[in-house]
Structure 1
């Protein structure tokens, strides 16, 4: 089933957390349950052919089978909650989803790509209240803010490249 982040996020302004409701509290951001889609689509575009799989999911009680775009190997432990709560924005890893008619992988999410951030997280940090903002623009004093966030958010780059951080 085609899903447009460009439409839902970019045009309608739906926040990431509405559909990915585990992102702040769980290792998995979560994929939207049929009921999330039907919150709006029980009223809007109720007979659209494109939404037939959503309606069938609701009637049949079978979850929507989303096609995973971003993922890491099974031997990698990744926790969405720790990242967003430590000031790493969705946009940092997933790109500008508000411009994606169909979701695509914005970055490799390879070990080396992740290690780059783990070695030097400062350039990727935002105040936690800003992690869900698309096209966020840092203030002039962002370098000072990021240095403060390292301490305030209890971020320890000196141990973030230890193997056990991601391989458990």
Structure 2
């Protein structure tokens, strides 16, 4: 029996100036804006765009079809999901069943949050452990499962 061995690495990544990447990471086919920070044990897949000065903390997973704006914070262990299992099971690589996620500017996402395919407007704080299942159209603080608005920001 032979194993199909793959190594983590940085392949076909476009970066702006002043980008910091702390290995080990698995980054491929993505774009990182100026001043982006990527912590260790992060995977960022192809067709992902990360805006300037955004910080991605350790152990986070950012799947295909995710766009994150500028000046954002993604806490430790945040998971982005592009497959909603709409047909009752995984899409098994069928990209026509995947959905996009768009994160605005100045969004902070707490550790261990799960972000389903949604749009989140500028100026939002997502609490640690939250599960975002619906679009967020108003700035504020959101938490829970499913995430709900707790209050507006000053």
Q: TM-score, normalised by structure 2?
A: 0.29
Q: TM-score, normalised by structure 1?
A: 0.27
Structure number with the bigger relative contact order (C-alpha 8 A, sep ≥ 6) is 1
Bigger radius of gyration among the two: 1
Query: Greater share of strand residues, 1 or 2?
Result: 2
Query: Greater share of helix residues, 1 or 2?
Result: 1
